[in-house]
Amino acid sequence: MLITDVQVHLWEADRPDRPWPRGQHRPPHRPNGFSAEEMLVEMDTAGVDRAVIVPPHWAGDSNESALEAAAKYPTRFAVVGRFNPKAPDARAQLEGWLKQPHMLGVRATFHTKPYVDWLDDGSLDWYWEACERLGIPVMALVPGMVRKLLPIAERYRHLNILIPHMGCSLDSHGANAFASLDDLLDLARYPRIFVMVSSAPCFSNESYPFRDLQPFVKRIFDVYGPRRMLWGADLSRLVCTYQECLDQFRRSLDFLSAEDKDWILGKALAEVLNWSDARPVRPVQGATASWQ
């Protein structure tokens, strides 16, 4: 089984030559950054083969450091990058987006102003059309407001849309976190909608194996099936160990077959993001890590 994490935030500390934008609404998950090498230690310990780097919002719209990490460790990392659709050269950027080595898609964040308004005002119609035409998958963060994706899914039926964190309301737990679950399930009628079952333990009121989440995950599984579910941890904000987050899907959900796990933990991601499923070379336990 090739295990791939659909989302990890890696970033450098704020520095003069790569400054962060001012006035961020949320502080970084860790104050001193989170490097590719730190992530690789976590991955090798838990048994995760690969991960998709999603640059965090607090570091700005640059994907430079993420692409550098993927270039350094090409069998272990790829990138779904941040993109500013309001940039003066946005259309030209998007035309060449997937020509960037190691770039697999676009991350769109809509849970704060003014971004949330862009889902309703029609200003991104060109963007959705271009992503569909160019075959660029879009990770659309819409916590607690999944229904706003309905007209987009209806209009752009050949666009792959990935919904992070099951569409849950951030910083909520239990049933409150899944208040918009019916809206998420309603979107399943569009076959290009995929659910990132990422950061699941962060929405639990319990410790491992997070049994209070099982009914919600089961409902998602029953409607979407394993080929449209993508496991991930969002490790930098995780409330448990990386191993426990992985084992929730690898061991504790008794309704998943071995084939289901194979899809959810890696095969589905390889297909939707067009990332070859060739197995990376990981260091032998006890040997000096080379992270091929």
pLDDT of residue 32: 67
Kindly state the percentage of the chain with pLDDT values over 70: 86
Nearest CA-CA partner of 26 in 266, 241, 237, 197: 237
Average model confidence (pLDDT) for the chain? 90
pLDDT of residue 149: 96
Residue 282 placed within a domain: no
Residue 281 placed within a domain: no
Residue 277 placed within a domain: no
Residue 65 placed within a domain: yes
Residue 289 placed within a domain: no
Nearest CA-CA partner of 122 in 100, 155, 97, 78: 155
Residue 28's pLDDT band, with cuts at 50, 70 and 90, is low
| Distance of alpha carbon 168 from alpha carbon 135, whole angstroms | 26
Q: What is the DSSP string of 118-162?
A: GGTSSTTHHHHHHHHHHT--EEEE-TT-GGGGHHHHHH-TT--EE
Q: Is 177:203 a contact under the CB 8 Å cutoff?
A: yes
Residue 286 placed within a domain: no
Residue 291's pLDDT band, with cuts at 50, 70 and 90, is very low
Residue 225's CATH number: 3.20.20.140
**What tens digit of pLDDT does each residue of 262-271 get?**
999 999 999 9
Task: Count the domains in the chain.
Answer: 1
Domain that holds residue 240: 4-272
**What tens digit of pLDDT does each residue of 109-146 get?**
887 767 778 888 888 999 999 999 999 999 999 999 99
DSSP summary character for residue 260: H
Residue 279 placed within a domain: no
Average pLDDT value for residue range 155-162: 98
**What tens digit of pLDDT does each residue of 54-72 get?**
998 755 678 998 999 999 9
Residue 86 placed within a domain: yes
Q: Is 70:102 a contact under the CB 8 Å cutoff?
A: yes
